[in-house]
Structure 1
Amino acid sequence: MKSPCIDLCSFDGRTGSCRGCGRTKPECQSWKNAQPHQERKVATDLHRRLGKLNDR
């Protein structure tokens, strides 16, 4: 799976999620070595995370 990164890396202090892609720092760091099921698990939650960031 392609990385969801959009090169807009800025991490929210409250949630710990990137404002660009929605992943946490550990998720970003481990993405290259993640198994497909791990990538899918993260990817399915990104829309909710980004919505939560944008609601503020």
Structure 2
Amino acid sequence: MTNMVWKRDEVESPCIQICVVHPTERICTGCYRTIDEIARWSKMDHTERAEIMQDLPDRKPRLAKRRGGRAARINRD
């Protein structure tokens, strides 16, 4: 008898278990999905998930960190 593993043919979640929502962009800093997308993921069909997955790389630049922060303000010349 062969051990067969049942697999579903669907787009897997992009979650990387770094679940922090950016305060102004309102997207997860780990997977780049919106809160609504995360909440609805299990109910989405394959097509909707694939569309979101295609959009995720374009969201990354929205989370670019500021350079300098507090140290830069204190050490201004």
Q: Per-residue deviation at 1:54?
A: 2.7
Q: Note if 1:3 corresponds to 2:13.
A: yes
Match of 1:32 in 2: 42
Q: Per-residue deviation at 1:28?
A: 0.4
Aligned pairs, number = 56
Runs of 4+ in 1 over 6 A off after TM superposition: none
- 1 or 2 for the larger relative contact order (CA 8 Å, sep ≥6)? 1
Separation of aligned partners in 2, 1:54 and 1:44: 19
Match of 1:13 in 2: 23
Structure 1 residue runs of 5 or longer lacking an equivalent are none
Aligned residues of 2:25 and 2:62 also touching (Cα < 8 A): no
Separation of aligned partners in 1, 2:18 and 2:64: 14
Match of 2:56 in 1: 46
Rg: which structure is higher? 2
Deviations 1:2-23 (A, max 9, x none): 1000000000121111000000
Q: TM-score scaled by structure 2?
A: 0.66
